[in-house]
Structure 1
């Protein structure tokens, strides 16, 4: 009798444990999937799915924030510096097959490498600000009203540079680019003083630093001729 009693009690205990486990499982499913469930698993899933959305919202908000933090000077800086850089690129591209000095060719390549990405950045800012970027032209004369901008070359200057080769090209290129860089530095200094966009002012500061150094380098190359 004792053995039968113990066996029966063990069976009852096992059944009770099994029932408790089934009820717990059902309760967990109700929390996760029910209309009003607030279980931890449900919150965990929400948090996991919210993270990418939050990142996407932050990424989307960045241009909007930049669009708000600017003034008329920032717009003028971007609209002016784009054609200014475009003319510098046009001048630099001529050096590849016209310059005789390896140092002049190297300088021209560095100018292209630095200013082409800046054009793309400036264009992006204008679009974010709801402004129309200047249309790209095949030469500087395609930029309406830009010939009077500080440091911009005239049509005659550009025509003479295109005709030059060898050492004559080197001298003309360096002389014209010094003047061109000085104009860019002047424009950047105005942006630093009057602009509002932190990004635009940071680019202006970088332009001043880089182009002041290149002006010094070009003057040294001119002195060596």
Structure 2
């Protein structure tokens, strides 16, 4: 066997080995990347909005039978800068929209006239405020993106909300069947929802200089605190909770 033949055969084997090792390395890198992504998703399957209307929510367990729901919320609309009112509008608008969604569901499913009256009041008041906020946004921030904006507390700057974050701001949920526990589930959802609005409105009073925004915040605090007190009273009367 000639030296030329042996050399040629060895080179072919070496080349195949190099290709094989390269493929293994590429596959290993891909698997590691996929594993890291999967691990991150498992650790953080539902990213919270650390932005303003920054709302970090731990909904706890929504017990459909008893309507129990635990909320821990942390909100920050960011510093009192030129875009503070923009972030408030972009947080409160979907938040109001979420209240309207649940109120409309209550109109369809609740048999209690008290809940029907409250639902109608929420829809009327908050639909009006949504329209006002949209007009203000267009007039005051004509160059702003149509995407809602928020304050990222950790990165210390404003950012666009993702679609899932905007939905998170709504804080709305399916309230379940029109059964004997429906009103309890509605109350357990709407009370913390109103409390979230009051929290943001109070921040407005300490940071916003626009009289329109301040007047809206005062109206939210007054009306929704009154509704919170009423809903808590109904819970005690109807469900001993």
Settle same-fold status: TM greater than 0.5: yes
Cα displacement (A) at 1:209: 0.4
2-structure distance, mates of 1:147, 1:213: 26
* Change in 2 beyond 3 A, CA 1:148/1:87: closer
TM-score by length of 2: 0.55
Give the match for residue 166 of structure 2: 146
Q: Higher strand share goes to which structure?
A: 2
Alignment root-mean-square deviation, CA: 2.0
2-structure distance, mates of 1:168, 1:197: 42
- What's the CA shift string for 1:92-149, capped at 9, x where partnerless? 00012211211011100100010001000000000002234558xxxxxx95313554
Which of 185, 210, 216 lines up with 2:229 in the alignment? 216
Give the match for residue 173 of structure 1: 186
Matches within 5 A, 1:35-114: 71-114=82-125
TM-score by length of 1: 0.59
User: Could you say which structure has the larger radius of gyration?
Assistant: 1
5+ long unaligned stretches in structure 1? 1-69, 136-141
- Number of matched residues? 143
CA contact (8 A) 1:92 1:109 kept: yes
5+ long unaligned stretches in structure 2? 1-80, 149-161
